[in-house]
Amino acid sequence: LPGLQVFMRPVQNLQLGGRASKSRYQFTLQSVGFEGVNEWSEKLLEKLRSDPIFRDVTSDSQLKGLNVQIDINREKAAQSGVTIADIRQALYNAFGQRQVSTIYTSVNTYYVILETAEDQRQFETDLAKVFVRGRSTNQLIPLSSLASFKRTIGPTAVNHQGQIPAVTLSFNLAPDVPLGDATDKIEKYVKDIQLPPSIITSYGGDAKVFKGNQGGQFILIIASLLVIYILLGVLYESYIHPITILAGLPSAAIGALLSLWMFGMELTIIATIGILMLIGIVKKNAILMIDFALDAQRNQNMSPTEAIRSACILRFRPIMMTTLTAIVGALPIALGLGAGAELRQPLGVSVVGGLILSQFVTLFITPVIYLYLDRWSGNGPLEIPPEILKDT
């Protein structure tokens, strides 16, 4: 249909604090003066629409309303004894629907509204019919003798964010375009148009969460690994073997990223959640082996090689069963079954891919790393010299 614009949105989506809009990602400009922010938002809007990586670029500022700009001649108004407040009161009486009285009956209540007739407030020329009483002469003065009227085009509504006028630009991305590249382009265009310091910019929705997590996500992962290391060190009374358990985590992350790349999916927030889940799932393979090996060394007087060999043999079946259970549980999400599956599918793909690769890798590297690091852990059987035991 000519003139029809279609905007595609997922059936199921996460609402991450952005405004309701036609597109997924948002960028907001704010300023105390709406005219300035509207002018600069139009310049940025043209830049985004000319770039092929942005799709469905829209603005919530709709300049389709008819306005009348009144320019008051303050010198004439002062000579006539008319103040700005008098003019405002006159305009409000004529066009503001002022409630002047209330009529009470036994059945209902009626409000008395003061305003001009419908046919007397259609055009800007009707403002010439408004009169203001001059205090110096105590006579009615036509408003047209004190001010000039000009028809302009303005917004149908002025949106606010944090009580400050704001214009929000919404956009989608072209296929296979990362959100990080889009935010870099927006910041480049902001510098190109030389946006003044009085304009405040911010991201909204998914883009806001992405920008907020760029700096803190790495710190969050490091902190979680540090907490896991401390807990495992307390559990096994060792500073070394928690490193053995955590050594399998890189393979899980690589498997998740490879699986997303193979199926042509982006590293979205949902996919990142799946990678974080792998931190807790993957390390159980090494825990099952090392827990048995440490117990065999300390309580059964086995050498490190014998202990880890026995652990691999006895714990192979539980490791395979638990991993297959996790993979089968994530398969419906990875296959995209059910309504709104396109939102959850990257999580399932990242979990399944990370589990498959880490399963094969950890079975081989965990015993090797265990034997390599055990020389510094001191977990073998306690050797007491014979001369100490001679008199016992």
User: How confident is the model over 236-260, as pLDDT tens digits?
Assistant: 788 888 888 888 888 888 999 999 8
Q: How high is the pLDDT of residue 350?
A: 92
Q: How confident is the model at residue 305 (pLDDT cuts 50, 70, 90)?
A: confident
Last residue of a domain, one of 108, 136, 154: 154
Tell me, yes or no, whether 258 lies in a domain: yes
Is residue 114's pLDDT more than 60?
A: yes
Same domain, 50 and 178: yes
Q: How confident is the model at residue 380 (pLDDT cuts 50, 70, 90)?
A: very low
Tell me, yes or no, whether 286 lies in a domain: yes
Q: How high is the pLDDT of residue 382?
A: 46
Same domain, 131 and 181: no
Q: How confident is the model at residue 105 (pLDDT cuts 50, 70, 90)?
A: confident
Average pLDDT over residues 356-365: 87
Same domain, 164 and 142: no
% the chain with pLDDT above 70: 86
User: How confident is the model over 319-349, as pLDDT tens digits?
Assistant: 899 889 988 988 888 888 877 677 788 888 9
Is residue 367's pLDDT more than 60?
A: yes
Same domain, 147 and 295: no
Same domain, 318 and 259: yes
- Three-state secondary structure of the chain: CCCCCCCCCCCCCCCCCCCCCCCCEEEEEECCCHHHHHHHHHHHHHHHHHCCCEEEEEECCCCCEEEEEEEECHHHHHHCCCCHHHHHHHHHHHHCCEEEEEEECCCCEEEEEECCCHHHCCCHHHHHHCEEECCCCCCEEEHHHCEEEEEEEECCCCCEECCEEEEEEEEEECCCCCHHHHHHHHHHHHHHCCCCCCCEEEEEEHHHHHHHHHHHHHHHHHHHHHHHHHHHHHHHCCCCHHHHHHCCHHHHHHHHHHHHHHCCCCCCHHHHHHHHHHHHHHHHHHHHHHHHHHHHHHHCCCCHHHHHHHHHHHHHHHHHHHHHHHHHHHHHHHCCCCCCHHHHHHHHHHHHHHHHHHHHHHHHHHHHHHHHHHCCCCCCCCCCCHHHHCCC
Q: How high is the pLDDT of residue 10?
A: 54
Of 14 and 368, the structure prediction assigns the larger pLDDT to 368
Average pLDDT over residues 366-388: 68
pTM here is 0.55
Is residue 387's pLDDT more than 80?
A: no
Q: How high is the pLDDT of residue 214?
A: 61
Provide the domain limits for residue 142: 65-154
Tell me, yes or no, whether 248 lies in a domain: yes
Is residue 121's pLDDT more than 70?
A: yes
Last residue of a domain, one of 154, 179, 199: 154
Tell me, yes or no, whether 216 lies in a domain: no
Q: How high is the pLDDT of residue 258?
A: 92
Q: What is the CATH number of the domain that holds 35?
A: 3.30.70.1440
Same domain, 43 and 180: yes
Question: Among the listed ranges 6-15, 23-32, 82-91, which one has the minimum average pLDDT value?
Answer: 6-15
Same domain, 259 and 113: no
Same domain, 138 and 244: no
Average pLDDT over residues 78-90: 87
Of 230 and 285, the structure prediction assigns the larger pLDDT to 230
User: How confident is the model over 182-226, as pLDDT tens digits?
Assistant: 888 888 998 888 888 888 888 877 677 666 666 666 777 788 888
Q: How high is the pLDDT of residue 174?
A: 84
What domain count does the chain have?
3
Is residue 383's pLDDT more than 60?
A: no
Average pLDDT over residues 158-179: 81
Q: What is the CATH number of the domain that holds 255?
A: 1.20.1640.10
Tell me, yes or no, whether 218 lies in a domain: no
Tell me, yes or no, whether 17 lies in a domain: no
Average pLDDT over residues 79-107: 86
Q: How high is the pLDDT of residue 359?
A: 86
Q: How confident is the model at residue 127 (pLDDT cuts 50, 70, 90)?
A: confident
Tell me, yes or no, whether 101 lies in a domain: yes
Q: How high is the pLDDT of residue 384?
A: 52
Same domain, 164 and 45: yes
Q: How high is the pLDDT of residue 20?
A: 59
Q: How high is the pLDDT of residue 12?
A: 45
Q: How high is the pLDDT of residue 8?
A: 63
Tell me, yes or no, whether 195 lies in a domain: yes
Same domain, 48 and 179: yes
Same domain, 163 and 266: no
Same domain, 149 and 166: no
User: How confident is the model over 128-149, as pLDDT tens digits?
Assistant: 888 888 888 888 888 888 888 8
Average pLDDT over residues 363-371: 86
Q: What is the CATH number of the domain that holds 106?
A: 3.30.2090.10
